[in-house]
Amino acid sequence: MIFVKYIFFIAFVFSLVFSQTGPVMFIEGGADVNTGNHRRGNEVVYEIKFKNTGDSDLKITSVSTSCGCSSALTSSDNIAPGSEGTIKFTFNGQGFGKVTKAVYIVTNETANPNHSINLSMIMIDPVTLNPQSIISEGKVGDELKKTATIFNSDTKDIEITEISSNTPVIKITSDKMHLASGEAASLDILIKIYEESAINAAIIIKTSEGEFQIPVLVDVKAN
């Protein structure tokens, strides 16, 4: 009878040992995360949330990113069972369109110690200028007429507060100063050539979402 009880005790101990799962890192949102639209050139900060769903401490031994333009920092290197943690991801905002960066995490998990999280970002300018630059030529006395558009590519309304140039030889008028999302303003541009020297200037557009410029270069030919 004692022998039978001993066998049951050993079986019970073994069942406890083998039923333990160890640390398990559960990442909220999975391995592929779309962080949405971001202003191009502005720093992007995103928090990756995770939880230790295992039954022993989760130790994070390494956190790194796929390039020097981004970084990642964990809130804690040791996460108790049932506790949550975060990894702060930072990207410098350079690039245009869809940008994807990876965060690599190494833990003390037995089965799956290596994790890779891909974070995608859509980097946009709130306005799109067309053309992005004006290049032309003329002679002294010419008046060059050009047109350009300002398109609101943001999801919210944009106010144009001022349109000017850094030279008095360029005059600009706009058909509207308030742009709803997806709406465009048309610019009429008049360039007056007074002397035989090239015009190297810019049209300056100040908006509620920042300042933008259209470079202007006019080569002046001899009469």
Enumerate residues 6+ apart whose C-beta is below 8 A from 18.
none
pLDDT digits (tens, 9 = 90+) for 108-155: 999 899 999 999 999 988 899 999 999 999 999 999 999 999 999 888
Domain coordinates in residue numbering, the chain? 22-124, 127-221
Q: 159 near 177, Cβ under 8 Å?
A: yes
Query: Which helix (DSSP H) or strand (DSSP E) does residue 99 occupy?
Result: strand 97-107
List, for residues 158-186, the tens digit of each pLDDT value. Answer: 999 999 999 999 999 999 999 999 999 99
pLDDT at 7 (0 to 100): 52
Q: How far is Cα 146 from Cα 199, in angstroms, rounded to an integer? A: 14
Cα separation, 106 vs 201, in Å, equals 53
Q: DSSP alpha helices (H): ranges in 87-215?
A: none
**C-alpha 136, offset from chain centre:** 35
Distance set, CA 123 to CA 94, 139, 147 (Å):
8, 41, 27
Whether 106 and 60 have beta carbons less than 8 Å apart is answered as: yes
User: CATH homologous superfamily of domain 127-221?
Assistant: Immunoglobulins (2.60.40.10)
pLDDT for 16 equals 42
- DSSP conformation class of 11: H
For domain 22-124, the question of CATH label 2.60.40.10 is answered with yes
Q: How many CB atoms neighbour CB 70 within 10 A? A: 20
Residue type, 61: T
CB 119 within 8 A of CB 111: no
> 74, 25, 69, 24: which is closest to 47 by C-alpha?
74
pLDDT in tens, 57-108: 999 999 999 999 999 999 999 999 999 999 999 999 988 889 999 999 999 9
Cβ atoms < 10 Å from Cβ of 11: 10
Helices (H) and strands (E) in the chain, counts: 1, 18
Q: Give the pLDDT confidence of 6-16 residue by residue, as tens digits.
A: 554 444 444 44
What distance separates the 2 farthest-apart alpha carbons in the chain?
A: 119
Instruction: Using DSSP bridges, classify how beta strands 97-107 and 143-152 pair: parallel, antiparallel or unpaired.
Output: unpaired
Position 16, amino acid = L
